[in-house]
Amino acid sequence: MPKILFVLTGTDFWTLADGTKHPTGFWAEEAAAPYQAFTAAGYEVVVATPGGVVPTVDRSSLAPEFNGGQEGADKVAAVIASLTELQHPIRLEDVDLADYAAVFYPGGHGPMEDLAVDATSGRLLIEALDSGKPLAVVCHGPAALLAATKDDGTNAFAGYKVAAFTNDEETQSGFADKAKWLLETRLVEAGVDVQVGEPWVPKVVVDRNLITGQNPASSAPLADRVLKELG
């Protein structure tokens, strides 16, 4: 059975500008929807985190208001609870890209804390980009792209068209004035061509083998596009 690698944040907090540690992790829908799509298509999902720590779901992402009501919240919670791969992650440091058909990075604010500065993840992203395999990243997941620095100091994703959680969405979510830095701004500073869509509306951008989504609502369409690329 072919495998798809899910690289998840290993942290359960996000340090805000005032030093407060805001509880977070990965965003439920961004793992659940692609997981369902990939496994239904016959792929095995392998979860990797820095150090192999069990990833934490952001409790906010299980709330009814973020899942179209209680029924939707119950459904996504059930998927996360059944996703046994989350309880048995491998160490990101031990990943061999040759074992996987595609690589996927879900979001949540967690990647802003750890993957944004994780050199191992950065090297994996560069390797995946160079391999031609589908590399999919959604919402705050593109924070990980910031660690993909080449030997000459430039970012490997400079010049790539990318969708990512926007400054407007961060403002509307109430965190823009609390964050140490904003994802859209930092990506632009790294030379990434951020494609800004309407807040909270699904938006998927494809540039070569890089497939990115703007927000949680983009995760299911992004997964569909990955499967299309895999044929």
60-71 residue pLDDT tens: 999 999 999 999
Residue whose tokens read 């993957």: 115
How many residues in the chain? 231
Give the torsion sign (CA, 207, 210, 211, 213).
negative
- Position 21 scores a pLDDT of 98
Mean pLDDT score, 50-56: 98
Mean pLDDT score, 200-224: 98
Helix (H) or strand (E) holding 135: strand 135-138
Beta strands across the sheet bearing 44-49: 90-91, 44-49, 3-7, 102-105, 135-138, 210-213, 204-207
Please name which of 178, 96, 192 lies closest in space to residue 144, comparing C-alpha atoms.
192
Q: Give the other-Cβ count within 10 Å of 195's Cβ.
A: 16
Share of the chain above pLDDT 70, in %: 100
- Position 46 scores a pLDDT of 98
- Position 29 scores a pLDDT of 97
Share of the chain above pLDDT 90, in %: 100
133-156 residue pLDDT tens: 999 999 999 999 999 999 999 999
- Position 93 scores a pLDDT of 97
- Position 204 scores a pLDDT of 98
Cα 224 from Cα 226, distance rounded (Å): 5
Cα 126 from Cα 228, distance rounded (Å): 22
CA 208 to chain centre: 18
- Position 28 scores a pLDDT of 98
Mean pLDDT score, 127-131: 98
In degrees to the nearest 10, what's the CA dihedral of 57, 61, 67, 72?
Answer: 30
State the chain's mean pLDDT as an integer. 98
- Position 86 scores a pLDDT of 96
Confidence band, pLDDT 50/70/90 cuts, at residue 95: very high
CA 71 to chain centre: 24
Confidence band, pLDDT 50/70/90 cuts, at residue 22: very high
- Position 111 scores a pLDDT of 98
- Position 81 scores a pLDDT of 95
- Position 224 scores a pLDDT of 98
- Position 209 scores a pLDDT of 98
The amino acid occupying position 10 is: G
Cα 191 from Cα 6, distance rounded (Å): 25
Model pTM?
A: 0.97
Contact 43, 2 (CB under 8 A): yes
